[in-house]
Every structure is written in structure tokens, then in C-alpha cells.
Amino acid sequence: MASGNLNKAERIAYIDDRLQTLYPETPVPLDHRDAYTLLIAVLLSAQCTDERVNQVTPTLFARAATPLDMVALTVEDIRSIIRPCGLSPQKSKAIHRLSEILLDQHDGEVPADMAALEALPGVGHKTASVVMAQAFGLPTFPVDTHIHRLAQRWGLTRGRSVIETEKDLKRAFDESRWNALHLQIIFYGREHCTARGCDGRVCEICRTCYPARKQPKRCHKA
């Protein structure tokens, strides 16, 4: 590898190829049965690890795996189960209310529509994007704070927000790759390019894209 840094086109091609090689399979890290249980799991994952969510959801879904069963529980019932995930007061209210809305407005089904999903309590753009991608297979590029950090380290964006980074990543990569890349970047970040374990000069992708980088890469927080 030459000592100079790769240009943007070279970085995009290398990252795309390397991530496909490292992670040819992209299993959804949140355990779920269908679109509704995925929606609830993604909502619970806000400021919580996937591992913790996967520890909590079996108990929750044993009690209520459909909107009809969920509204039969009280908000306090839900909160007592999901408490380990953090933010349980807000999340329990959101889960109960969105389940009511799904029954009232969507025949108890999770809508395959971004605007309708974003209108649900507790469901922001990132959560809606994950559900659209992983439940319905529609091309989105959900960007969380971890993807935002890696995209900056890899010179794929100068965005100061996850929304700006999402737009830049969608421009950089073919639409057919968006859903898998979202997970592949997450997997790579957890394994190799962590917040504290890499400063833009440590992991394989950072070193390959920027072999001449002398200083730690300062990233804008989302």
C-alpha cells in the first residue's frame, strides 16, 4: 500500500469490498419475530445495548407479542419488564400508545411507510429506517452515532448530524448495498473501530484509507 491517503472513490470502493468480505452475512442483531416485535425491540435499543434488549424482550413478548396483547397490559406492567433497558418511563408509555395507534389506525399492522412510522410515539427517523430496512426490505440507510463516527473517520462525510451523514452515505454507495452496509458498519465498529479503541489511526480500514494520518481524527458528535 502506498504511503499516501486514498482518495474518496478509492476509499468507498475499498470499504465496500472489505466489509462485504468480513461480513458476508448480516443477521439482524435484535431478536424478533415480525415487524411489530422488531419495532418494539428497536425502540427499546435507544441508549441501550442490543444484548440487554435481547435479554428483556423474551419476557415482554411472552406477555405481549402483538399490539392487541400489549394494550391489555398497563403502562406500569410494561415498565416493570423493560426497566433494565433504561428510559423505561418514556419507553413504556410509547410502546403502549403506539400499540393503540396501530390498532386504531393501521388494523393492528406495522405500516411499511416511513411517515406513518415516524408519526408513532417513540419512533424517530432512525428507528423507522431500521424497521423499513429489516422488516420490509426497503432501501434505507439508518445512521446512529456509531455509524456517524466511523463515516467521519473514513472520510465519507463531513456531516455534523446523523441526517447529513445519512445523505452522504446514500450518495456514496449503491442503493442495493444500503441495508447490508448499515449492519456491516455497525459490526465492524463494534469489533474493530470502537469509540475508545481507535482514533482514526488504529483499525485496518482507518489505516488503509489514511496511512499518512498523523493526528487522531476529531469527530463531530451527532
Neighbours of 26 (CB within 10 A): 17
* Closest of 145, 119, 127, 139 to residue 35, by C-alpha: 127
Name the 3-class secondary structure at 85: helix
CA 40/CA 163 separation, integer angstroms = 22
What pLDDT, on the 0 to 100 scale, is given for residue 107? 98
| Sequence ranges of the domains in the chain | 8-26+141-209, 35-134
Residues in the chain: 222
Per-residue pLDDT in tens (0 to 9) along the chain, 222 residues: 446 899 999 999 999 999 999 999 999 999 999 999 999 999 999 999 999 999 999 999 999 999 999 999 999 999 999 999 999 999 999 999 999 999 999 999 999 999 999 999 999 999 999 999 999 999 999 999 999 999 999 999 999 999 999 999 999 999 999 999 999 999 999 999 999 999 999 999 999 999 999 999 999 887
* Closest of 137, 73, 125, 127 to residue 100, by C-alpha: 73
What pLDDT, on the 0 to 100 scale, is given for residue 131? 98
Helix pair 75-82, 50-63: axis angle to 10 deg:
140
Fold agreement (8-26+141-209, 35-134): no
What pLDDT, on the 0 to 100 scale, is given for residue 2? 46
What pLDDT, on the 0 to 100 scale, is given for residue 15? 98
Catalytic residues: 126, 144
Residue with grid cell 499516501, as numbered in its chain: 4
CB-based contact 216:201 (threshold 8 Å): yes
CA 109/CA 103 separation, integer angstroms = 7
The model carries a pTM of: 0.91
Fold of domain 8-26+141-209 = Endonuclease Iii, domain 2 (1.10.1670)
What pLDDT, on the 0 to 100 scale, is given for residue 222? 74
* Closest of 84, 62, 58 to residue 73, by C-alpha: 62
What pLDDT, on the 0 to 100 scale, is given for residue 82? 98
CA 99/CA 97 separation, integer angstroms = 5
Q: So what CATH class is 35-134?
A: mainly alpha
